[in-house]
Structure 1
């Protein structure tokens, strides 16, 4: 039997996301989008017995509240938002039975940025270009979740709920692994060294597109100061350096092209952890050798 959930509060930003987004459509000007922390959403789906690719809710800095129409399983992962179910304390990183009509409420997480809610059956809004993800830049997919929205759930999957009762939380970020290029040669050796040795601070200019960093100015080589770079493709994890000299790290809703030089690219697996960095967080980059085939 299909069910639904009704949103009673949203917090700063709640969106419907799936882990995979819309890959392979950059030639149409469509970015991938999808969950900022894909690993956390996949974990939540596994806990309630969904396919890992099912859609769930991405909740920024807590504040989401909703009621379910039928008794179902819910799991919350990612940033450790305090959870209350029917007014009683709930658990993180485990599948919890939520009775019909009970309200699930997420508080503000003490660390991290984005929490993920999976409901057995998945959020079954209509897909757009093969995905249920909300792209906040292109306006594709379902609208940003609002108070009073009723979201349909898919039928419970035939697969049983996994035997695992509790899964570990997501570890904090000490460093993001990065491969250099494709435009690191636009920067002086001292700038490349500063890029890799600085403890950068995430600024308030942060959203699902990416985040700007505060730290030393990364200077270009003298012959390229003031030079223009034709727009070229960028991917999730690209670290662009605008004329200010302070890097910008692209996340899930990044543009498909950019006109500033990319000094390095964060490994794709590490961009999930980057999606949990909130303003004021410190981040370092650790240079690694490009994986085979890249």
Structure 2
């Protein structure tokens, strides 16, 4: 069982739950950026919680099935077609052998997830099938002509679930970070309710925010460990939210940490989208 990549789009990678336990050796976790959307896609095709799925970025992907398979597309809203026929987004679809499946460009959001019954069966690297786009650990980015083997289907697919509706206003809740004392007096209070825009250079490594400068003390720190959702404050005063492919260490002060429940939203924010910060 296999699927062939006909057109990988701007950036399509394989992602599972990520590789844990290697940060002390400088290896990031990686894994699906929108964890909820990836988990839903797996459930819809009856997959295991750690099955590898395809994560697309903005431009979608085109695949051809080697035999009949069940697949589902979740995450960023997009058109999904089997041949010339449009099929449901966020629901399991049985696709015949030799069919061309087109996952269109994202209409709302950034990243779509394609799960296939049995999961994508590539060789794990350090216990994970995830692609790390900073260190390029794991499978390489998908390329045209690549054939992806599939595992054996497991449970019966689950019926379509209610689609998660993202709030119209993107809000990231912040807790004080380990270096909150590096903020200038009054800076923490000033962050509450402040609106930033997503910067164009945001990616799987970090969500970069552009807006009012956050004042902090001068100087730098020795490099220290980073966690998912850490908010670093470089000398520019423009916050950076570390996402799945973040480096394990960094030298700018971590003045805040984003609530874990808000991190999936970061995966679907486009350049220019407004983001409101809320401090605890």
Counterpart for residue 93 of structure 1 = 90
Measured after TM superposition, the shift of residue 269 of structure 1 is 2.4
What is the SS of the residue equivalent to 2:261?
Answer: helix
Please list, as runs of the form range in 1=range in 2, the aligned pairs for 1:112-131 lying within 5 A after superposition: 112-131=109-128
Distance 1:170 1:75, change over 3 A: farther
1:27-66 CA distance string (max 9 Å, x none): 1111111010111101000000001211000000033000
TM-score between both structures, scaled by the size of structure 1: 0.92
Aligned pair partner of 1:284 in 271, 276, 280? 276
Task: Provide the rounded CA distance (Å) in 2 between the counterparts of 1:104 and 1:136.
Answer: 25
- 1:229 equivalent to 2:227? Answer no
Counterpart for residue 49 of structure 2 = 52
How many residues in Structure 1 have an aligned counterpart in Structure 2? 279
- 1:190 equivalent to 2:182? Answer no
Please list, as runs of the form range in 1=range in 2, the aligned pairs for 1:247-266 lying within 5 A after superposition: 247-266=239-258
Aligned pair partner of 2:14 in 1, 13, 16? 16
Aligned pair partner of 1:33 in 10, 30, 54? 30
CA contact (8 A) 2:177 2:255 kept: yes
- 1:148 equivalent to 2:145? Answer yes
CA contact (8 A) 1:78 1:170 kept: no
Please list, as runs of the form range in 1=range in 2, the aligned pairs for 1:62-73 lying within 5 A after superposition: 62-73=59-70
Task: Provide the rounded CA distance (Å) in 2 between the counterparts of 1:287 and 1:205.
Answer: 25
Task: Provide the rounded CA distance (Å) in 2 between the counterparts of 1:77 and 1:40.
Answer: 6
Task: Provide the rounded CA distance (Å) in 2 between the counterparts of 1:215 and 1:174.
Answer: 15
CA contact (8 A) 2:177 2:230 kept: no
* Two-structure CA RMSD over aligned residues (Å): 1.3
TM-score between both structures, scaled by the size of structure 2: 0.96
Which deviates more from structure 2 when the two are superposed, residues 73-82 or residues 173-182?
Answer: 173-182
Counterpart for residue 245 of structure 1 = 237
In structure 2, runs of 5+ residues without a counterpart are none
Aligned pair partner of 1:74 in 71, 74, 77? 71
Counterpart for residue 215 of structure 2 = 219
CA contact (8 A) 2:191 2:278 kept: no
Task: Provide the rounded CA distance (Å) in 2 between the counterparts of 1:77 and 1:186.
Answer: 40
1:158-204 CA distance string (max 9 Å, x none): x2222x23441452463112211211111123322332221110010
In structure 1, runs of 5+ residues without a counterpart are 289-294
CA contact (8 A) 1:36 1:272 kept: yes
CA contact (8 A) 2:228 2:243 kept: yes
- 1:179 equivalent to 2:160? Answer no
Measured after TM superposition, the shift of residue 211 of structure 1 is 2.1
Task: Provide the rounded CA distance (Å) in 2 between the counterparts of 1:155 and 1:78.
Answer: 24
